[in-house]
Amino acid sequence: MRSKLATHHTQAVFTLRGNELTAMAGGSKKRRRVEKKRGKRKHEKEGITPLNVKYWLQRYKLFSKYDEGIRMDEEGWYSVTPEEIAIGHAHKFGGGLVIDCFSGVGGNAIQFARLCQFVVAIDIDPQKVVMAFNNASIYGVEDYIDFIIKGFFQLAPYLKGDVVFVSPPWGGPSYKTIQNFTMDLLKPKDGYSLFQAAQRITPNVIMFLPRNVNLNEVEELSWLSSHPLMLEIEENYLEGYFKGITVYFGTSAHRN
């Protein structure tokens, strides 16, 4: 029997719709102040802060079903993979058991679950796991995902799967200010350690990395295996904007 995340309490779901961010025109100054305070409270409930309000404006690119009750925390807003790119990752592999090492609020795990046999979604943050389970339920794939609250490196020696998906923390939006993003800047450990832990599970590894990542260091990863792995580097764009780099290793490389 497939297991699911069990919770002992129900958490309220808050959504922001339409023009709730738009200040009301006209009326008294007092009314405008009241509306502003209400809007601020709604933002706080959804994890929206000045840091990530621009991502809220792109909410349907992150989750097309956002209005149905999608939940994210502050980090989730700027770290979740845009849905179109996540769909591309899933189509590229298209089957078997997927291990999502840093699943966050579930963007990639959901799309893998829609196309693959099963997903093991791992995250060390219990609140993110609760949100990911909620979001998977909205897409109707919660029965195809096992959610695990644990650090990836603690679990890695015991994991088996057909492909490992690695989208580690990039260090927040400030990563964009770095001209040459080196592998040692990835979290919670450097990119070399992340890749070695993943390829001990399976040679089929997918890594989603910053657009400014050092490609020479990325190519070096394929030589860390006892037998050098096939490698494919893909640039990911969304409506003409360069969003990130996906690297496919092993048999996941060069698949249609």
Residue at 200 is within a domain: yes
pLDDT digits (tens, 9 = 90+) for 47-77: 677 777 888 999 999 999 999 999 999 999 9
pLDDT of residue 152: 97
Does residue 201 carry a pLDDT above 90?
yes
- What is the rounded CA–CA span in Å between residue 114 and residue 139? 9
Q: Which domain holds residue 150?
A: 82-252
Alpha helices per DSSP H over 116-190: 126-138, 152-155
SS3 at position 81: coil
Kindly state the average pLDDT of the residues 110-136.
96
pLDDT of residue 47: 63
The two structure tokens encoding residue 198: 């993943």
CATH number, domain with residue 212: 3.40.50.150
Residue at 10 is within a domain: no
Our count of domains for the chain comes to: 1
| pTM (predicted TM-score) | 0.80
Residue at 72 is within a domain: no
pLDDT of residue 117: 82
List the single range of 88-92, 170-174, 214-218, 239-243 with lowest mean pLDDT. 170-174
List the single range of 6-20, 124-138, 191-205, 219-233 with lowest mean pLDDT. 6-20
pLDDT of residue 22: 24
At a CB cut-off of 8 Å and minimum separation 6, what does 137 contact?
none
Residue at 59 is within a domain: no
- What is the rounded CA–CA span in Å between residue 119 and residue 3? 11
Does residue 194 carry a pLDDT above 90?
yes
Beta pairing partners, 248: 206, 232
pLDDT of residue 197: 96
Alpha helices per DSSP H over the chain: 29-45, 53-56, 59-62, 74-79, 83-93, 107-115, 126-138, 152-155, 191-199, 215-221
pLDDT of residue 253: 66
Q: Half-sphere exposure of residue 86, counting CA atoms within 13 Å on the CB side?
A: 24
| Dihedral Cα 77, 59, 83, 177, nearest 10 deg | -50
Residue at 218 is within a domain: yes
Q: Is residue 74 within 8 Å of residue 44, measured between CB atoms?
A: no
pLDDT digits (tens, 9 = 90+) for 22-52: 222 233 334 334 334 444 445 555 667 777 7
Residue at 141 is within a domain: yes
pLDDT digits (tens, 9 = 90+) for 129-176: 999 999 999 999 999 999 999 999 999 999 999 999 999 999 888 888
Percent of the chain at pLDDT above 90? Answer: 66
- What is the rounded CA–CA span in Å between residue 146 and residue 2? 8
Residue 236's H or E segment, with its range, is strand 231-238
Residue at 169 is within a domain: yes
Report the interhelical angle of 83-93 vs 107-115 (nearest 10°).
40
pLDDT of residue 54: 86
pLDDT of residue 172: 82
pLDDT of residue 80: 96
Q: Is residue 186 within 8 Å of residue 170, measured between CB atoms?
A: yes
Nearest 5°: the CA angle 90, 207, 226 is: 115
Nearest 5°: the CA angle 61, 63, 66 is: 115
Residue at 201 is within a domain: yes
